[in-house]
Chain A
Amino acid sequence: MFIQTWLLPFALLATATLMAFPLSQYLAWVMDGQYQPLPVFGWVEKKINSGPQNWKQYSGSLLIFNSVLFIFGYLVLSLQPWLPLNPDAKTLLAPSAIFNTVASFMTNTDLQHYAGDQHFSNFSQIFFGITNLFISAAIGLSALTAIIRALRSDASMGNFFIDIWRVVVYLFVPVAFIFALIFLQQGSPMTYKSSYQVTTLEQGAMGTTDKGEAKPQTIVVGPVAAFEAMKMLGTNGGGFYGMNSAHPFENPTALSNFFNTLAMMIFPFALVLMYGRMLNQMRHSLVIFMVMLTLMACTVIWTVYFDTEKPNPALTSHLARLYQIPNPTAASGKMSLEIPAISGLPVDQHLGNLEGKEMRFGTSAGATFAALTTDVTCGAVNAEADSLNPIAALSPMVGMWLNCFFGGKGVGMINMLLFIIIGIFLAGMMVGRTPEYLGKKIGGREIKLAIIALLVHPFMILIPTGIFAATVWGMNAISNPAAHGFSQMLYQFSSASANNGSAFDGLGVTFGFYNNPNPAPEAVAWDIATGLVIMFSRFLPLIAPIAMAAFLGSKKSSPFGMGTLRVDTFTFAVLLLGTIIVIGALLFLPVAALGPIAEHLGPIPFGG
């Protein structure tokens, strides 16, 4: 039992770490342009190259390219009924849902206010889905490369278009191809057909039609293997099917689940080491790597311990409890509330909380995946996050709030860079020395940019959550009572702002097709609000660090001296860890207490 629970998370962390070393070497080799392209690729590179760029040109190209991508995505989705590969005549999504989906996929968020199996034709899955899966993943990685070039004071930040091309074609396509073959062999469909009708083995078990005939089961298929590989590798997380990596076609076996989980980890892991290799600061990047790995391991252990090692508290017995609630009208100023003892239901829970878990992946696979998916801002799920044990769900939220436990491709390392700059600044203030990073003095302008980039995130989570919790927008959408309902809203905005994409699925955010007679009542408000949050939280924290790195890089290097804070030591690791934990706790402890912690400590079941 011990091995069956803990081997899987350990094997995943170890494999991803081992793979990071060779992969980072390849990454640095490609991004530094040391390869000799095939003649045809060389021709394309010449066509798309617009020459060396400074930070303004680089960010400008990034924004313009994203605008083009946005328009392309919008066109594909809004023309769905008239485009090919749509034999089931899937019609148009609601306009707000199209906006949300396009924003979400373009930014590598993949928060889904629709369900692929119900609302997308195979044409949309390929030309909207797969396109964005590849390209949005390349944007963060390119931004990180530009930042590295700036930090090492290169003559230019490189060329944005060439960077995207390199990442997609030399990196993602070959790796995705290998993973897609694995998923295909394990059982993911790979066809341009849309669905099959099957008579069930026990005819009529699906019910009968009005004419009294046995209903068939409709099996939705499509180019799943191709989609799935890049969905995970690009830490996109937007599923082909509504239930994402839990769906047996996206993730058919325990082995496919291992590779599914591994796929989302390898690039975020390798990028940290690429950072060190390209800057020639390998020891520094190893220190960062260890800090990230430690934090990630903590989130995984937390979720597995509270979700797999503990039963679902809805079914267990609870002692009677007495709560003292402040009440100004009572004589003592307090009101006491007694919750009677509850006896357990006769359910064998030795495999942990099984509500919303699949059996084929393995005992701790759901909990492990839940923690990892937010650590690396993937957002795919192979278990229902809404049904995780209350306190276990805290760790996925922490992963999104801090967003640097490896984080997304490029973006995670950029977030970590912000924490590094602020950590060094704080340390510098404490000992009264000018803070320096990589020999460059950190000035007021850099700190301002770092703080702006860092504060966008809590703003975009806390303010909308507060607004929605106080209005019908939120209260009509939640599907679970009290603290968990609050968690549902908090999770949705955390996921949007962290560009994560996982969700507490009970939240009513799906409008569906434009002519759906019974949409979720507040779907439009959610579509627009999370869509805007997604865009703000994507581009500000991407461009501010590019500017910051450019300013830092343009400074003169000061020589390494006795008073220089070393960034490749254990002390620095502790400093960095402390900075992350203190800043994170200051920003998010109050909402954590209102959501998952309150649910855990409060009576279960709660009302109803």
Chain B
Amino acid sequence: MWQSLSKSLSLLTFLVVIVCGIYPLSLWIIGQTIFPFQANGSLYQDSDGKLVGSKLIAQPFTKDEYFQPRPSAASYDATASASSALAASNYALRDRIARTLGPIVKDQNGQLVAPDVEKWFQRDKFQDKQNIVAEWATLHTSLAQAWVNADPAHGAYVDAWMKRHPRVVTQFVKDNPRTPQPKAADLAVVFFQNFSKENPGRFPTAVMHTDAKGKTETRIEAMGAGSDVQSIFFDLWRQEHPGVVLQEVPGDFVTTSASGLDPHITLQNAEFQLDRVATKWAADLKRHPDEIKNEVEQMLQQNASAPLAGLAGEKFINVLEVNMELRKKYGLPPA
């Protein structure tokens, strides 16, 4: 027993010296001398020598002048990699993707369907039932609750509504004796049912107002159009318009990666974004879109590579590298 213990201690000591000392240290020396770029995180600098990002870590791009990486379940936070962990059977997955699609999907003639979605929404009918927002909230309870919790402003709006509708709240408490003091999220479905009756064909949407002094203020208003309606109600619209032929969007454009930091998109995805990027640069630089498109297309082709030389998969591009190229060639996009 004691012999085993002392042997265990000396074995552990020898092993720690080797595997925690010598082994990583010799790799560190090789890394810092032979592969310094990789060993320090594949970091890129801009012309002033400031670090702009890592070749291997996705960073967000909001401007239309840039290619966008895949959506990130980690919000591109490189200290906390994360996947969505949404199962196929979880409606949250379909809903997230439908919301991305709503504002950008085109029909076979190349026309956005978003205006159709808005027009249909304003008719305020889903599957022959009145009050579409109420139908939506009843079908998708968790989404209605998620809306209330998504933004403090939403919660405050429902709180204010609860104060204006004490009778509805009392009725809810009577129907649900288990929640004697309901919070805003508990009442989400009731709120939307009530809202839908009072504002047919409209959805509570955050709208930014600028007053005369240039001060901005965000208020929630009942809107029958806009990006909320286009995205949230696209899936319901689709259920009533199964026959409309829509142009398909590349799979990796709407799916999150496993790490949330995938720096690559497929070439197909980049080509899909090419029109948007080229048109925007053409407008900024007052040049012909086709010309820009050709130049950017060349950049994409130059950057593209494929897994194991194409034996294991299709071509992809590195989003940061291509966007750095764009920046180098066309300068800073206007604010």
Contact = CB atoms under 8 A, between A and B. Distances in A.
B27 A608 contact: no
A144 B55 CA distance: 43
A195 interface: yes
B20 A131 contact: yes
B147 interface: no
Contacts of B314: 4, 351, 363
A317 B242 contact: yes
A356 B84 contact: yes
A363 B307 CA distance: 8
A225 B89 contact: no
A386 B85 contact: yes
B57 A248 contact: yes
Contact of B85 (A342, A366, A505): A505
B284 interface: no
A456 B52 CA distance: 53
Given A217-B59, A225-B31, A355-B86, A348 B250 contact: yes
Contact of B27 (A223, A254, A599): A223
A211 interface: no
A243 B260 contact: yes
Contact of A135 (B15, B66, B141, B320): B15
Interface in B1-54: 1, 3-5, 7-12, 14-16, 18-20, 23-24, 26-28, 30-32, 35, 38-43, 46, 50-54
Interface stretch (B116-124, B165-173, B187-195, B261-269): B261-269
Interface string A241-271: 1110011110010110110000000000000
A574 B313 CA distance: 36
A219 B54 contact: yes
A242 B82 contact: yes
Given A64-B1, A346-B101, A480-B90, A248 B263 contact: yes
A7 B306 CA distance: 14
A586 interface: no
Contacts of A226: 23-24, 27-28
A345 B238 contact: yes
Contacts of B26: 177
Interface of A: 3-4, 7-8, 44, 47-50, 60-61, 64-65, 67-69, 72, 115, 117-118, 126-127, 130-131, 134-135, 161, 164-165, 168-169, 173, 176-177, 180-181, 184-193, 195-202, 205-206, 217-221, 223, 225-226, 230, 241-243, 246-249, 252, 254-255, 257-258, 312-315, 317, 340-343, 345-351, 353-366, 381-384, 386-387, 389-390, 479-484, 487, 504-506, 599, 602, 604-608
Contact of B83 (A127, A243, A484): A243
A605 B89 contact: yes
20 contacts: A4-B314, A60-B1, A126-B20, A161-B8, A180-B27, A185-B35, A198-B43, A198-B59, A201-B53, A217-B76, A254-B312, A254-B313, A317-B242, A356-B258, A359-B257, A364-B312, A383-B258, A387-B84, A480-B89, A506-B87
Most buried by A among B26, B30, B81: B81
A72 B254 CA distance: 45
Contacts of B287: none
A246 B258 contact: yes
B274 interface: no
Interface residues of B, number: 113
B15 to A, nearest CB: 6
A481 B89 contact: yes
Interface stretch (B92-100, B206-214, B293-301): B92-100
A604 B268 CA distance: 28
Contacts of A165: 11, 14-15
Contacts of A348: 248-251, 268
B89 A131 contact: no
B225 interface: no
B3 to A, nearest CB: 6
A593 to B, nearest CB: 15
Contacts of B268: 348
B94 A247 contact: no
Contacts of B30: 181, 184, 190
B246 A608 contact: no
A506 B57 contact: no
Contacts of A188: 38
A176 B57 CA distance: 25
Given A206-B76, A357-B255, A60 B4 contact: yes
Given A64-B5, A193-B40, A217-B53, A118 B251 contact: no
B302 interface: no
B140 interface: yes
Given A205-B59, A356-B258, A606 B91 contact: yes
Interface string B107-121: 000000000000000
B288 interface: no
Contacts of A44: 14
A248 B56 CA distance: 6
Contacts of A69: 12
A205 B62 contact: yes
Given A360-B262, A602-B89, A47 B307 contact: no
A390 B88 contact: yes
Interface string B234-251: 010011011000111111
Given A72-B12, A201-B323, A118 B80 contact: yes
Most buried by A among B43, B85, B246, B261: B85
Most buried by B among A64, A67, A254, A608: A608
Given A206-B59, A359-B264, A345 B257 contact: no
B327 interface: yes
A340 B126 CA distance: 14
B7 A61 contact: yes
B105 interface: yes
Given A202-B66, A218-B78, A348-B251, A484 B39 contact: no
A396 B4 CA distance: 38
B60 A206 contact: yes
Contact of B258 (A168, A384, A604): A384
B58 to A, nearest CB: 8
A198 B19 contact: no
B324 interface: yes
B216 interface: no
A384 B76 CA distance: 17
B51 A358 contact: no
A354 B84 CA distance: 12
B261 A342 contact: no
Nearest to A258: B308
A201 B54 CA distance: 10
B16 to A, nearest CB: 6
Given A3-B311, A384-B83, A68 B27 contact: no
B142 interface: yes
A608 B63 contact: no
A180 B23 CA distance: 10
Contacts of A390: 87-89
Given A180-B27, A206-B76, A254-B312, 16 more contacts: A7-B312, A135-B15, A176-B23, A201-B61, A225-B27, A225-B39, A242-B81, A248-B261, A349-B251, A350-B251, A357-B255, A362-B308, A487-B87, A599-B87, A599-B88, A608-B140
